[in-house]
Each structure stands twice: as structure tokens, then as C-alpha cells.
Structure 1
Amino acid sequence: MVDRAPRVRASELTGRAWLNTGGQSLSWSDLRGKIVILDFWSFCCINCLHVLDELRPLEEEFSDILVTVGVHSPKFEHEADPDALAAAVDRYDIAHPVLDDPELKTWQDYTARAWPTLVVVDPEGYIVAHLSGEGHVQGLVSLVRELAEEHEAKGTLHRGSGPYVPRPKAEGILSFPGKIIAVPETLRADGAEGPTYLVTDTGRHRIVELDSGLERVLRVWGGTSKGYVDGPAESARFNEPQGLAVLPDHLRERLDYDVVVADTVNHRLRGIRLADGAVSTLAGNGVQRLLDAEGARTGDPNVIDPDADPRTVSLSSPWDLVWSETAEAFVVAMAGTHQLFSFDPASGAVQVFAGTGAEGLQDGVADEAWFAQSSGLAQASDGTLWVADSETSALRRVTFQGDAVSVETAVGQGLFDFGFRDGGSEDARLQHCLGVAVLPDGSIALADTYNGAVRRWDPASGELTTLARDLAEPSDVLVEDRGPEAEPLLLVVETNAHQVVRLPIPREAQRVDEGASQTQRPPSLLAGGTLEIVSRFSAPTGQKLDDRWGDPTQLKVSSTPPDFILDGEGAAQGLTRTLKLNPEVTDAVLHVTARAAACDGEPGGEIPDHAACHLYQQDWGIPVKVTGEETDERSMVLDLRGVN
């Protein structure tokens, strides 16, 4: 039976509209008798997308007693657009009801503090669990079974179909395409006239080669259903592939593939041999990369055995990749861990290239920098790597001086700052950019996705301008070289219009100022002085804390700006921390990471030999405001896994 504290009734579900219900609004009376998981998500958030995939087998196994309700509480302004949300529901094949919560009313009613947050409600309408982050499915299976047994016995469990009603989809030659690259002339499809392009047809889980007119498919790798299968082009399967890169000439002569694919939801890098279409796995074991229990204790998750078979290494949502002449390896935007990885195709070595794994915007040497869901990469002629860092709405650059690798920010302020404004570094704003390309003059073109625009950053002048706008979520850009007699054009992947379009590169860019914005998420109001951070964790049924080497829990706390915390920052064991706050700083963002390691075993007993162990981790970026009011918060409870 589920042990509960005093029972709390679930608040009503309020928002602008419902999707996937056939136009019907849902209330708790409509859901009575079902076990309900409220999934608070935003479609920009990679961790939220992971949870969507984690929940699918759970929804299938318990389809007659369990209803998932997605509560879409947006971070970015664009995510509050109902058409953009509808497109995201289609793109990610969401097969459960979704509440559009643009003003974060339901988010606040359930005191959510992070994307994603899961709230479990029993068949009588009472909250039984709060879970933050991803990786909770095993515990959810146990909890659902316990609730089903309890409420079957009470007669309060109602079996039968749920309220989900599928939506019709409108697509074109492509379905939610992601990234594009040019095919070298010697590797084009037989009979192709003029240049051809490889595009990840992400919504159909395949890679296609388009003709020069961008309207005819010449070759296809993969099928229209998701999966993971190597082999011939027609039987191979991918799962929401994104980035593409061509192997350098000198390596294509030695290796048995020509193109590397970031097979995002399969958490793998795949290879394609264009001559016969054969698909192979190059790196990744298909298991999403998380810190293991040892990493939780040592705080060093970034060491990967360079001699390991690359197909045994865990990756996490690789989103894009580019060949780096300086690094002599592919650099991979590992969106799921907020890092850049490297993959050396000659040796097979996979390594962390830059980023600690903390989500945020912090410059410096590579192994101390922070990224936030990096999703686009391009290499300049001088070897500089340009990075579209989507969750910070930032353009970053990675530079090389000898053996030193450093990260700098060209445009961007932080996790909660965005907008549509041209100008210099301090004033310019982007909104969740996904793609980047180097223009012939050395300036940088950006797919400014949530602004529906293509922007241009000029490193020489330090100015951001606008090249084009009114596009439907552009996700990638590519310069089309048309030879010495013609001006180059820009190819833009227009994801929500299901197409690739050609645009001229204007000599005179627009100047736009539609303002700077911050997330609609209200800041937590603090009394000031000190703040106690408490992360609640309850191991799932059948697991216990792994205390064989001491305390298996850890809190890591920092802030933006750094001087907001006078005492108490850093990483230390335990899930409780008291911070001393700077009285001169009133607006800040707290960055908190909670970790707990648990293994299969019963409370009070020994952990069996060879027991499966699990790491629970969540990162919070929490905007806060110090008011000085005694009635405001002096403690903050963050649920890593709280069960009532």
C-alpha cells in the first residue's frame, strides 16, 4: 500500500485550451477513477522530450487505468503561440491529452519549479507524488501498480479507454525536417543534375537526398516508423535524427561510411555509406547518458575511457556535429548533457570536449564552461567553432590557442533572457536558436528558431542584424555556393512548414528592435538574509539508498550573478543546504543540482551483490527576487522524488 502524509486534493486544470481531446475540456470529474500523471513540460526542453519517450511504454502497459495529461507551461514567448504548440504535439507524436497553460496558472497551482515535473494523482483525485526531472519510470511502474492494487480493492479504479483523441496531421514532402548538408559531387545520386542535399526528415525518422530544386526525393535511408536497425537503406531505422556531417576525404578513403548522422532519440551516432546505402552504428549504446552512482559520489561524470569501444559509450541526444580541423575529430552538440563531445572516427574515441554538464551560460576554459542544450555547430576558416546554444538563446564560440580550448559568448545573457533585438552583444537578443552557418564574408548566419528569423552576427563589428523573418521555426541554415559567377544563397530548413527554402543574402540587413524579454515564469520571492534549500527524495518501492560508501546524496549550488551567494555554494553531500545571501543583490538565478543514488533492495536490508543501481538527478534554474519581506520564503523545497 502507498504510505501517505495528509491527503492533498489535486487543483483544477485551468488553461487556454485542450489538445488531443477532440475539442473537449477535461476536469477532474472526467478523470475520476484513473491514475493520472501530470507532465509539466515545454517543447523547447530536451529533458521534457526525454520524459515523453520514457512515459510511452508506461502508457502502453497501463492503457486501461492510466492517463497522462501534458501540461504545457511555456518558457519562451514563442511557445505560448497555440499554433506552435499544436505543431510540437504533432512533431513529437504525443498520444495523450495536452492542456495549453500559457500563463502558467496550473504550473503555479502545483508549485512546479522545473521542466519537467511529474505529479501523480490517484483515482480519487489526491496527489500522491511529485517528481522532478527524468529517469523516474521504474519508480512510476511500482507506484502505478501499488495504486492499482489499492484502488481495485476499494472499488475506486475504473478500467477502460481514456480521453485521448488523435489529431489529423498536415505534412509535405518532408515532415518536421531538422538539419541539412550539401552532398559532395562524387557522392551524389546517379543521374542527379546539379547539387543535391541530405536532409534529416525528422518527423518521419529518415534521411533523404533532395534534388537541386529541393522538391524531389532522390534517395532515402530509413523508414517512416521510428526504430533502431542497421543494414541496407530500406530496412535501416532511425529515431528523430537531426545533425549530419560528411567525413573528410582522407578518412572516407579508409573507413566504410561517408556521412555521420546524429540519431538523436536513439542516443547514437550512425554512419551511412552512400554508394550502397548501408547504415551502421559508430558510437553510442542506445542508453541515455546519465551520471552513474560513482559519478554522483565523486562529482566527476566527464571521464570516458578513451580506449572503450565507442558503441559501448552512453550518449544523450546528440543534436548536431561538425568536423573540426583543429581537433581532428567531429565535435558533437550533446544536447541532453549540455556539453560538446568529440568523436574521432579514426580511433573511435569518444570524449567530453567542453562543458561541465551544468546547464547555463558560463564562459572560460573548456572544462569549466557551461552550455544549455547546444543544438547547432559550424566551423569557420580559422578553426573557430560557432555554437547555437538554444536554451540560453546564445551564440557561443569555441577558440583554440595551442592546446588551450576556450568558450566565449558573442550574444546571449542567460537561461531566462531572450527577445528579438538587433545591436551589440549587451543589447542583442535571440530566442531559442537551433542552427548556425558561416557566411562567405566570415560573418555568422543563425537560425533564430522561435523568432522565426535568420539573423547575422558580424564578429568584426560586434553587431547582430536580421536577414529574414516570418519563417516557420527555421532550424538550420546552409550557404549554397553557386560558383564564381553567381551570388551565394542561403538554404533554410523551415521545420514547421515542412520544407527547405532558398533565400538571398541581402547586402543590407534589417535592424529589428522588438524588445528584450524574460521567461513568464514568476520569480520565487525570498525574504533575504539566509535561504535553506531542501531537496526531498524517497526511493521507489524495491530500492534503497546506496549508502555502502557513505552518504549517496549530493547538492550542488551556484548562482548568476556569482556574488549572490556569500556562503554555501559548491557541491557537498546531503540534500539540505543553508545559503547566506548578498543583501546588495536582489535579482538572481539559483542553479541547484540534486543527486541521489539508490540500488535494488529492501529498506533496512543489505544491497544484494550485482544489484541494479540508479542515479536520480535534477538541475533547477530558479529565478529569485529578494524582497526583504518577512512573509516571503526563507526555505525552498525542491522535489527530486517526493512521495506523499
Structure 2
Amino acid sequence: MPEFPEGLEWLNTEGSISIYKDLCGKVVVLDFFTYCCINCIHLLPDLNALEHKYTDKDGLLIVGVHSAKFPNEKVLDNIKSAVLRYNITHPVVNDTDAILWQDLEVSCWPTLVILGPRGNILFSLVGEGHKEKLFLFTSVALKFYKEKGQIKDNKIGIKLYRDSLPPSPLLFPGKVTVDNLSDRLVIADTGHHRILVVRKNGQIQHSIGGPNSGSKDGTFLESTFNSPQGVSIKNNIIYVADTENHLIRKIDLETEMVSTVAGIGIQGTDKEGGAKGEEQPISSPWDVVFGTSEDSGDDVLWIAMAGIHQIWALMLEDGKLLKKSDLIKGTCLSFAGSGNEENRNNAYPHKASFAQPSGLSVASEEPWNCLFVADSESSTVRTVSLKDGAVKHLVGGERDPMNLFAFGDVDGAGINAKLQHPLGVTWDKKRNLLYVADSYNHKIKVVDPKTKNCTTIAGTGEASNIISSTSTESTFNEPGGLCIGENGNLLYIADTNNHQIKVMDLETKIISVLSIINSETAVVDGPFLEKQKTIKLPKLPKSSPNVKLSPLTVSPGQSLQLILRLDLPAETKLTEGAPSFWFLTAEVGQDENILAQSSPLPKKHGQFHMLSQRDTTLNLLLIQKYFLMVTIFRSILFLYNKNTFKIFIFRIMIFFFCFFHIRFFPLIIIEA
């Protein structure tokens, strides 16, 4: 085994590691992985169990070797996020240029290479599902080398990256959905292993599960999840893709109970299904969405079964699918996809193939009547007909069904458009458009299914967290899910690696952050914004000048940025060192008092919170006239600066003049 090359980036360690120094006397398991790969994710519980059985004192050490598939996965910060998201606690090295991959002739993700205490290669395991062999080979190797006296019990310096992560209301939120019949959203707070039900102003109504992972059913306080992803809500019932538990969970908001409706809690390999839900093994469900059978409406739950590269269905009522025999309520079965990881389209649903489908959306109206699928590993968006099950290409990828490396960031039509690991889709029936979370390109794109044209509407391609005045200058960091709300006016985006839900106005293209606000009843980790206090507003005289802004479509909880620019008369300036305040009012409704006010801080802008979808009227003082008046009086005072009595008289005059002319105005003193 060659030495680790110099200059490689390491995570979860105090420094770089040497095979022939630090790892001498250890049995080492090298895990070659890429964090997008579902098979690599499936292997992590096996490695975690091995770490709990043997420690470095016992002579075992696991080292993750991250050899990226996608360009986005080569970036250290993105690998850090994955290490946190999947709770990886062993050392990880960023094999950016795949040097170790090539030296050891690795050809598949995941691959395990087991080394002896002298860096000698003992054996390798390709793919997932080798837990018994892994444990057997490792235990035999440890026993053999201990008997030969070659095992050392020295500890490796571990420094977990997660220990430096600041608390946050959300942690890697994967998906979000809107309840259009009420004023609320459902958020999969994936990193906190919980589901949040929040009002559209961001106030939490229910926090279900978390902060630790588990698979327990019961009350909201008792129940637990394990990295939940997809969520769908209707009639006070939420269905959850409980991904790493390999379960579909049901949340009843009326009884406040959680139950399991599909899966047995163990990763399944069955690619046909047909058993009753709670008896049917499933594998890493990533998204869920309501759909219809041949008999009635919204009686099917479609499931993106990422772990076995298929689309499944859970019957919520008795019904039929594609002219099959009658299916009873609770039946869980495969609907489309062979289970092979490919980008294969076919008129016969079970002869088509997907590659880690991760996002679903339904367009039930004609002429579409289909499922849209974000097929992440093929970097495509596909459609599945709800009439006959035919699987077709929409955008991305290429024609060769075996090529899963046809990715990029190119706007265009059909196969000429290129995506990079898209994770989410949502249908806008108001405009007949499909929005795509192009996750590894850090963009939101829109597809016209009629022309197959795909264009960027938000994001720059840079992984960061910038809120700009235009959507194409705002940035994201691996957005994983999105949904349409407010009658097609707003797009809610789960900006996963920024730990935020962002809101995009589809008319103005303005993007804001949904502030998550704690409530008295919800149990929540992390800091939260305090509720806005109602402040008594001043009355303005009829002669007060008004500046009325154009109406904006605003969701409760969105933030509006106001920048006040002062145009002062020539030869005038603001007083240096004077306290700086701003004071603004907005009329939004009879029962709401909205106020934005700063403390004495050197800021030129502030934020509105909890604005509703109504006209906003802003009342401002004419700054130029006010400061011109102050400048004139100061000049007069300067002329009388040698006469104390005259200064006193002029100060009294100034006081009464200001009192009767501007006492009803909000005072605005802005620091330059």
C-alpha cells in the first residue's frame, strides 16, 4: 500500500495521517466512497457497528477515502457537510484527484480495502451488503496479528468537525411541503431527525421526533425518526419518507400520534413488493407524494425508493394500478423501474430503470397526467405516465442508458440541458411549469415540459448563502427540496447545506429566508428569533409626506429589505458621532401592527418581519428639508456664539418651532 500523498485534506483528525507512522500496528479499513451514492450511505451503519465493536485501542481504525463522482463533491466544505449529515466520526481524507483510487485500482463505489499492521493489503470488498464478511475478516485479522504481537493500542488524534458546528433551528433540511388548505408548512428537519409543522410566518406548531435518531412510534414526544426526507400532507395527515429507518411513517395531527405504515425497519432488497405495508421491506425511501389510482383520487402514496432505484406505490385505499387486479388498502409494491441503476426509458414501466430517484411531483391534469422524477445519479428529470406507466426522458443526461456521468450545468432543451445530481422537483399547475432543485449546481431551474426547455431562475452556481435583490444573484448550497404555495405565487426551497428554508416570489423573483420562530409548546433545539412585539405607532398629521410602494406578494415570515438613501443639499452633511436610528411603519391590516425599528447601530437598512400579503404603505419624513432646517438654525446660532443670553433665546425658539412642526414625524437620524 503506497503512503498517503502529501497535501491531502483531512477531516475529523488533528492533522494528516501517515500509513507507516500513525497506522503502523493497526488493522485499517479504507472505505472508498462518494457522499452522493446511496450504496455508500447503506454501508455506513455497518462501519458504525464495526467501530463500536473494535476501537483503535483494540487495533482497528476506519478511514474514509472520499473519491468524488461529481465535481461538486471534490470541494472540502461540501464533504464536511456530508460528514456531519451522515454522522461520520472516523477520519476522512479528500482524495480530490482520485490518486488513492487509482493506486489501489478501485473501480466501484463503495469499495472496502482492509490493510494489515504493516500497510499490507489483506483483501477487499466491493459494493454493499457484506457485513458478515467484513466482521469475520476483521476479527480474524485482529486475532492473528495480536497473537504475533504486531498490534499496537496507540490512539489516533481525533477532532470531530461536528463539535465546532454552531446550534441552528434547522440542520440540513431535506424537503419541504405546503398545506394549501391551511396556513402551514411541513419541514423535514433531517439533521435533527424530526418533522416540523410551522405556520407560514415561521412559528413552530409541532416538533415531532429528534434530536436523536430512532424508529419509535407513539406520541409526538415519544416518536423518533432517522434522517427523514420526503413529506406530504393532506387532511391533517402527514406521510414521511423515514429514509435511514427504511420506513414510511404516518403522522396524525389530530390525535398527535406517529405510526409506521410501510417497511420493517431493516433495509430491504425486494424489488417487486406486494405485501401489506408494515410487512413489506423497503429501501431508503427519499420522497413521497399523493397520487390517484384508476378508481378514485389521492388514494395512492407514490414513493421514490432511492435504495433500489425504483418508484413504488402504497395503497391508501382499495384500488387498482395499471389494470392490475384489485389491490387492498395498505399494499406496498413496485410501480416502475427494474431495480438496475441505469438511465433507461421504456414504454413498459418494469423494463425502465432509474438511478437513485430522489424527488417526486405529480401533474394529474391533462395532457400531462404523470409523475415527474428527479433521478439524481443520472442527473436527469424523467416522467412516468399515470395512464400506462411509460417512462420517458425530459431533460438532462444522455441517450446511453449506462452512462451515469452525463452531468453539467447547461441551460437548454431536452438532452442538451445538463444538470448535476438534482434532488427535488415540484409542479406549478398555474403556469404549467416544473421547478427543479439542481442540487450540486446550487441552482433552481425551471422546465417547460411542452418544449423541454430548461433554464436557470435562481442561483449563481456558487455554493454560498447570499440574499440579493435578484434571484440570479442569490445563492444556495445544495438545495434538496422545493414546493409551490400561495396559489402558485411562492416557491419554498429547502436550502439544505445552508440550514434554511428560503422563499422565492415567482412574480418578482425576490428571495428571502423564512425565519423559524419557537413557540411555547414546541420542543426545539437552537436559537430562535423572538416574537415581534406590538409597538404603539405614532400618529402623523394630514400634511405628512407619504411614499407608497408598489404592492408585493409576500408570505408571512418573509423578510423585506429596505435601503434608505439620503439626498442632502450641497454643503451639508450628517453629524459625525451622533446616535443613529431609523424608524419605519407599515400598514398591513386592521388587526396587525407592523413596525421596523433599529437600535443605535451603524446600519443603513433594516428588516420587516411577519408581513402579510397586502399593500404596504411606508411613511417617511422628507429628510432633505429637515436637515436643511437644522443646518440653518446651527448657522444662526454660530452668529450669536458670543452672547449666552441670545443663544438661550434661540434655543427656546428652535425648541417650540420643532415641537409644533415636526413633533408628529418619526425621527430619522441616519449615520453616513
Q: Aligned to 1:496, what secondary structure does the other structure show? A: helix
Amino acid at match of 2:174: G
Does the alignment pair 1:409 with 2:397?
A: no
Q: Determine the C-alpha separation between the residues in 2 that align with 1:43 and 1:12.
A: 21
Counterpart in the other structure of 1:358: 340
Q: Which amino acid aligns with 1:90?
A: L
* Partner in structure 2 of residue 338 of structure 1: 309
CA contact (8 A) 1:490 1:505 kept: yes
Partner of residue 266 from structure 2, selected from 276, 287, 290: 287
Shift in Å, 1:10: 5.0
> 2:334 is aligned with what amino acid?
V
Given candidates 402, 414, 419, the residue that maps to 1:430 is: 419
Larger Rg: 2
Does residue 441 of structure 1 match 2:412?
no
- 1:312 alignment partner in structure 2: 279
- Report the AA paired with residue 168 of structure 2: G
1:241-260 to structure 2, matched below 5 A, reads 241-247=228-234, 249=235, 258-260=237-239
| Partners of 1:141 and 1:374 in 2: CA distance | 31
Q: Secondary structure at the match of 2:381?
A: strand
d(CA) in 1 for partners of 2:222 and 2:180? 25
How do 1:189-208 residues align onto structure 2 when only pairs under 5 Å count? 195-208=183-196
**Secondary structure at 2:207 match in 1:** strand
Task: Answer whether contact 1:15 1:103 (CA < 8 A) is retained.
Answer: no
Q: CA deviation at 1:185?
A: 4.1
Match runs of 1:49-68 below 5 Å: 49-63=41-55, 64=57, 65-68=59-62
Deviations 1:7-52 (A, max 9, x none): xx45535663111102334433211111111001111101111111
CA contact (8 A) 2:3 2:18 kept: no
Contact 1:176 1:497 in 2 (8 A): yes
CA RMSD of aligned residues (A): 1.8
CA–CA distance in structure 1, aligned partners of residues 441 and 205 of structure 2: 32
On the 8 A contact 1:458/1:464 being kept in 2, the answer is yes
Secondary structure of 2:389's aligned partner: strand
1:47 corresponds to which residue? 39
1:322 to 261, 276, 289: 289
For normalisation by structure 2, the TM-score amounts to 0.67
1:222–1:237: 8 Å Cα contact kept in structure 2?
yes
1:529-608 alignment runs, 5 A limit:
none
Matched residue, 2:446:
456
Q: 1:504 offset after TM fit, Å?
A: 2.1
8 A contact 1:205–1:226 mirrored in 2: yes
TM-score by length of 1: 0.70
Following TM superposition, by how much is the alpha carbon of 1:171 offset from its aligned partner in structure 2, in angstroms? 4.4
* Equivalence for 1:19: 11
Task: Give percent identity, aligned residues only.
Answer: 36
Q: Is contact 2:91–2:158 with CA below 8 Å preserved after alignment? A: yes
Could you tell me which of 443, 468, 474 is aligned with 2:458? Answer: 468
Q: Is the 8 A contact 1:221 1:277 kept in 2?
A: no
Q: Which has the higher strand share?
A: 1
The answer to whether the aligner puts 1:232 opposite 2:219 as a matched pair is: yes
Give the Cα–Cα distance (whole angstroms) in 2 for the partners of residues 289 and 241 of structure 1: 17
CA deviation string 1:193-234 (max 9, x = no partner)? xx21110110010001122123x3221110200111110111
1:14–1:311 distance in 2 versus 1, CA, 3 Å: farther
Tell me, yes or no, if the aligned pair for 2:180 and 2:486 is still in contact at 8 Å. Answer: no
Partners of 2:2 and 2:103 within 8 A in 1:
no
Which whole-Å CA distance do the structure 2 matches of 1:15 and 1:106 have between them?
A: 13
Distance in 2 of aligned mates of 1:264 and 1:421: 31
Quick check: 1:14–1:105 contact (8 Å CA) kept in 2?
no
Query: Which secondary structure does the structure 2 equivalent of 1:36 belong to?
Result: strand
Partner of 1:348: 330
Structure 2, unpaired ranges of 5+: 318-328, 460-474, 511-672
1:153-168 equivalences under 5 Å are 153-167=147-161, 168=164
Give yes or no for contact 1:74–1:102 (8 Å, CA) kept in 2: yes
CA offsets 1:548-586 (integer angstroms, 9 cap, x no match)? xxxxxxxxxxxxxxxxxxxxxxxxxxxxxxxxxxxxxxx
From 98, 114, 139, the equivalent of 1:104 is 98
Residue type at the aligned position of 1:385: L
2:490 touches 2:505 (CA, 8 Å); kept in 1?
yes
SS in 2 for 1:421: coil
Specify whether residues 14 and 433 from structure 1 end up closer, same or farther in structure 2 by C-alpha distance, changes over 3 A only.
Answer: farther
Per-residue CA deviations over 1:480-520 (Å, capped at 9, x if unaligned) read 215xxxx70111110011010111225899xxxxxxxxxxx
1:302 is matched with: 271
Measure the CA separation in 1 of the matches of 2:456 and 2:167: 28
In 1: Cα distance, 2:204 partner to 2:123 partner: 48
Q: Deviations over 1:312-356 (max 9, x none)?
A: 211100000111124641110000000011111231101111000
Structure 2 residue 94 is matched with structure 1 residue 93: no
The residue matched to 1:31 in structure 2 has which SS? Answer: coil
Q: Distance in 1 between matches of 2:109 and 2:507?
A: 39
Q: Distance between the aligned counterparts of 1:160 and 1:271, measured in 2?
A: 47
CA contact 1:223–1:235 (8 Å) conserved in 2 = no
Per-residue deviation at 1:432? 0.4
The 2-side partners of 1:410 and 1:171 are apart by 40
The structure, 1 or 2, with the larger RCO (C-alpha pairs under 8 Å, 6+ apart) is 1
- Kindly tell me the number of residue pairs found equivalent between the two proteins: 466
